[in-house]
Amino acid sequence: MQIAKSAYAFRLDGNPISCEAFGHGHINHTLKLTTDTGAEYVLQRINKYVFRDPVRLMANVSAVTDFLRTRVEDPRMALHFIPTHDGLYYHRDEDGEFWRVYDFVGGFCLDMPESDEDFYQSALAFGRFQHLLSDFPAETLYETIPEFHNTVDRYRQFKASVKADNVGRAAGVQADIDFLLEREELACSLQKMRESGELPLRVTHNDTKLNNVLLDKATRKSLCVLDLDTVMPGLSLHDFGDSIRFGAATAAEDEKDLSKMRMDLHLFEVYTKGFLEAAAALTDTEVKMLPMGALSITLELATRFLKDYLDGDLYFKTAYPEHNLVRARTQIKLAADMQSKWDDMNRIVAEVAAQVRK
């Protein structure tokens, strides 16, 4: 493949000799670059339809990775972005596209855990991310997607869509609407605790899925977390919660057979253990609220899917007309299952915390 012209804007070690498509991300365009000194890099074009402000996005990403690099013993544990000849972490080409380059580190990612250990490794990686950034001034980061996990605001938007009922779908989903409205106070409790200062503002990743964790090829241990595009100020509990919502669920987000959707308490325990071992700087209140992190993010996502269904499917990509409704219902089922296991979730958190927090 021809060398992408933007590669020459960066301070590379050597001259680029090869450039090939790399990875299978759905958002950014990713290439692997090799130079005549054998140096290897990842060159990415940022999707500016998804990310409206690539300059602020890169300000967040580079501030966080620069900070992480001063805190890790193995350089593979933090992404290393390469500046341009102008000293910026992004290059804007003549078409107005934004590019960035970081060091290529060997390793691999998994879409699904193949064992408890894999899931545990992802918990260590996200816990470590939280821990290493615990004294980073989170308030200095831009909110690249404003009010992303402001559940109060999500409910406000949801209720507005119910009221507007733009495509006439509300009557058919009244039971689902009622389920979510009955749990509004619960779902919004963390946001209230953030506003009152009971929960600290943290640097959050906001896409804490297993496939954003880089594993070492030889040891299969986690090295670092990738995809920092949605790094923002937020609550540690949302990052924890989203990992549980996605990774400890027994079915896919769009499983139609609701009887298959549950939260696996064993996987909840595996993840909690790894997360608490690594994220030692969490406050006692944060630890206590971990189960609420999982429940509130699940309810929040249910409102987002159902809102989108009521709006006529404007935000999430759908493959068929009921897709968002199916997704909303799996999240509702998952939330209901969490509530039925509430005492066990709290007991597990207390037991794990007693073991690992000395």
**Position with the least CB separation from ligand GN1:** 207
- The nearest distance, CB 296 to ligand GN1, in angstroms, is 13
Which pair of tokens denotes residue 334? Answer: 């998952």
- The nearest distance, CB 253 to ligand GN1, in angstroms, is 6
Nearer to ligand GN1, 34 or 303 (CB): 303
Q: Under rule CB under 6 A, which residues in 298-327 are in contact with ligand GN1?
A: 301
Half-sphere exposure (Cβ direction) of 90: Cα atoms closer than 13 Å: 21
Q: Determine what percent of the chain falls in helix, strand and coil, rounding each to the nearest 5.
A: 50, 15, 40
CA pair distance 53, 36, nearest whole angstrom: 34
- The nearest distance, CB 75 to ligand GN1, in angstroms, is 27
Type of residue found at 210: L
Q: Which residues of 145-175 are buried (b: 16+ CB within 10 A; e: fewer)?
A: beebbbbeebbeebbebbeeeeeebbeebee
Sign, Cα dihedral of 148, 151, 156, 159: positive
**Per CB under 6 A, does 40 bind ligand GN1?**
no
Nearer to ligand GN1, 42 or 297 (CB): 297
**Per CB under 6 A, does 253 bind ligand GN1?**
yes
- The nearest distance, CB 19 to ligand GN1, in angstroms, is 26
CA pair distance 323, 109, nearest whole angstrom: 27
301 binds, among Mg ion, ligand GN1, none (CB under 5 to 8 A by kind): ligand GN1
Nearer to ligand GN1, 57 or 348 (CB): 57
Q: Which positions from 125 to 164 touch ligand GN1 by CB under 6 A, shown as an x/- string?
A: --------------------x-------------------
**Per CB under 5 A, does 253 bind Mg ion?**
no
Question: Helix 236-247 crosses helix 265-278 at what angle (to 10 degrees)?
Answer: 150
Candidates 184, 207, 216, 344: give the one binding ligand GN1 (CB under 6 A).
207
Candidates 97, 116, 184, 207: give the one binding Mg ion (CB under 5 A).
207
- The nearest distance, CB 301 to ligand GN1, in angstroms, is 6
CA pair distance 280, 147, nearest whole angstrom: 27
Give the DSSP letter string of 22-77: -S--SSSEEEEEEETTS-EEEEEEE-TTT-S-HHHHHHHHHHHHHHHHTT-SSGGG
Kindly list the residues in this chain that would bind Mg ion in the complex (CB under 5 A). Answer: 207
Kindly list the residues in this chain that would bind ligand GN1 in the complex (CB under 6 A). Answer: 145, 207, 253, 301
